[in-house]
Amino acid sequence: MNSIANIWNHPKTSVAGLLIATISIAGVLSQQGIDLGHAGAGTVVTLVSAVATALLGLLAKDPAGASPSSTSVTRLGAWALIALLLPLPFSTGCSGATVAQDIVNWTPALQSAVATVDSTAALLAPVDAPIFTAATVGFDVASNLLVAQAKAYLANPSASLLAQIQNQVVTFQQQVNASVLQAAKIADSASQKHALSAIQAVATVVGVLLSLVQSISSKSALARMASAAPIKIASIEPFLDPSQSAQIVADHYNEPVGTAQLQIAQAERTQIQAGF
């Protein structure tokens, strides 16, 4: 905890020193062939090195005699560095069994979100309810199938079951993405707000599950998964509330909302880099 306090109390000096150390260590690890896992099309080591280099460059441009605004920027850099030092619980799956267990652990939140979707149609304007129902009709089946596959993998791990999980999480993600775009077309503002909020709860959990599966997938598997995902994350982001997603993740992992926001942002960047 003292190291975190020092970063906060002396942000510019601490950030600069730690960024330089991060870049140096990342270089050594890369030379030794240590990548710490996949991160989109690259590796965790190259991602951390690139982020550290970018932050160091921004820090170097910060003028001496920092004004309140530049101090804020420096402290933002400190938060970003702290985020790099924290584990990303849903994007660092170390094995298929770990990821399958994490999917099962998310089951209550997923089932609750899907149940909310099932009951949301009653809150919408009569003309909008059928549109919403048609857009979300497959959520129950998709969620139950994904959880069942994860439980089957835990009982008997195999490459074929992992492939099924990879296919299903992308299929589910595409169903959710399509439903977001449909809900965004609802004309009544109150109905649209209810519809998007309900769908986003499911989208958040499915996004976490996709990150978990992505973390243990090979490059060829990721390419196959991305090719089956024509509705990209960028197309639905304008209709979602980042604070809602952060609260869901923070509640599940019992962590600060700010930490969850940074973790979600990094996970989404990794997904987008992989083609989702």
DSSP string, 77-129: HHHHHHHHHS--TTS---SHHHHHHHHHHTHHHHHHHHHHHHHHGGGS-TTTH
Residue 50 has a CB neighbour count (10 Å cut-off) of 14
pLDDT the model gives residue 166: 96
For residues 198 and 254, the answer to whether their CB atoms sit within 8 Å is: no
The whole-number pLDDT of residue 12 equals 63
Higher pLDDT, 181 or 255: 181
Q: Is 189 or 75 the better-scoring residue by pLDDT?
A: 189
Q: What is the pTM of this model?
A: 0.70
| Spacing of C-alpha 124 from chain mean position | 29
pLDDT of residue 41: 45
Q: Which of 36, 58, 57 is nearest to 48 (CA)?
A: 36
- Percent of the chain with pLDDT strictly greater than 90: 57
Give the separation between CA 160 and CA 167, rounded to whole angstroms: 11
Q: Own/partner pairs for 186-194, CB < 8 Å, 24+ apart?
A: 186/124, 186/128, 186/131, 186/132, 187/128, 188/124, 188/125, 188/127, 188/128, 190/125, 191/123, 191/124, 191/125, 191/128, 191/132, 192/128, 194/120, 194/123, 194/124
- The mean pLDDT value for 135-141 works out to 95
pLDDT, residue 198, reads: 97
Residue 28: CB atoms within 10 A of its CB come to: 10
Q: Which of 175-184, 244-253, 255-264 has the lowest mean pLDDT?
A: 255-264
pLDDT digits (tens, 9 = 90+) for 58-73: 665 555 544 555 555 5
∠ CA(269), CA(110), CA(154), 5° rounding? 90
At 167-183, the pLDDT tens digits run: 999 999 999 999 999 99
**Confidence category of residue 17, pLDDT binned at 50, 70, 90:** low
Whether the per-residue pLDDT at 135 is higher than 60: the answer is yes
Q: Is the pLDDT of residue 156 over 70?
A: yes
Torsion of CA 77, 80, 85, 91, to 10 degrees: -160
> Average pLDDT, stretch 146-163?
94
- What pLDDT is attached to residue 54? 60
Separation CA 48–CA 55 (nearest Å): 11
The owner of tokens 């024509």 is 230
CA 178 – CA 182 distance, rounded (Å): 6
pLDDT of residue 82: 53
Instruction: Dump pLDDT digits (tens) for 88-97.
Output: 565 554 678 8
Render pLDDT for 205-235 as a digit per residue (tens, 0 to 9).
999 999 999 989 999 999 999 999 999 999 9
Domain residue limits, the chain:
2-85, 96-274
Q: Compute, in degrees rounded to 10, the torsion defined by CA atoms 84, 235, 128, 144.
A: -60
Rounded CA-CA distance 189/9 in Å is 45
Q: Which of 78, 95, 73, 180 is nearest to 131 (CA)?
A: 180
* Strand 38-39, strand 42-43: pairing: antiparallel
